[in-house]
Structure 1
Amino acid sequence: MCSHQPACPTADSTNHHAAIIVSSHPEQGWHLLCNGTIVFDDTGELLPDGRVVSPRRAVGTLVVAA
C-alpha cells in the first residue's frame, strides 16, 4: 500500500505503528495507517488480513477515595 520513500513498515513488522497515518477519524476513535492497519484510540488494532489485536491496557492500582 505504501508508495512513498522510504517505505513504511509492513503490517507484519514489529514496528508497524511507525507507518504514516493516511486517514484520521479522531471523532470516531480510529486512524488508518499507510500499511493498511487500523489503530483505535483504545490501542486495539485491525490488521489488513482481518486479524484483531486486542487493546493493551495498562494494569494499575485503583484508588478509591474514602
Structure 2
Amino acid sequence: MCSHQPMCPSADSADRDAARTVASHPEQGWSLLCNGVVLFDDTGEQLPDGRVVEPRRPVLLRA
C-alpha cells in the first residue's frame, strides 16, 4: 500500500502508528494511516485484518 521512500512500517510492526496519515477525520476522532491502520484519538487502533488494539493510556501511580 505504501509508496513512500523509505517505506512506512507495516501494520504488523511494533511502530505501525509511525506510518504517514493519508486521511484525517479529527471531527470523528480517527485517521487512516498509509499501512491501512485506523488510528483513533484515544490511541486505540484497528488493523487492516480487523483486529483491534486497545488504547494505550498512561498508568497513574498514587503515592
TM-score (norm 2): 0.89
Within a 5 Å distance, the mapping from 1:35-50 to structure 2 comes to: 35-50=35-50
| CA distance, structure 1, for counterparts of residue 59 and residue 18 of structure 2 | 24
Tell me, which stretches of 5 or more residues in structure 2 are unaligned? none
Q: Percent identity?
A: 69
Which residue pairs with 1:33 in the alignment?
33
Within a 5 Å distance, the mapping from 1:2-21 to structure 2 comes to: 2-21=2-21
CA RMSD in angstroms comes to: 1.3
Runs of 4+ off more than 4 Å: none
TM-score (norm 1): 0.85
**Which has the larger Rg?**
1
- How many residues were matched structurally? 62
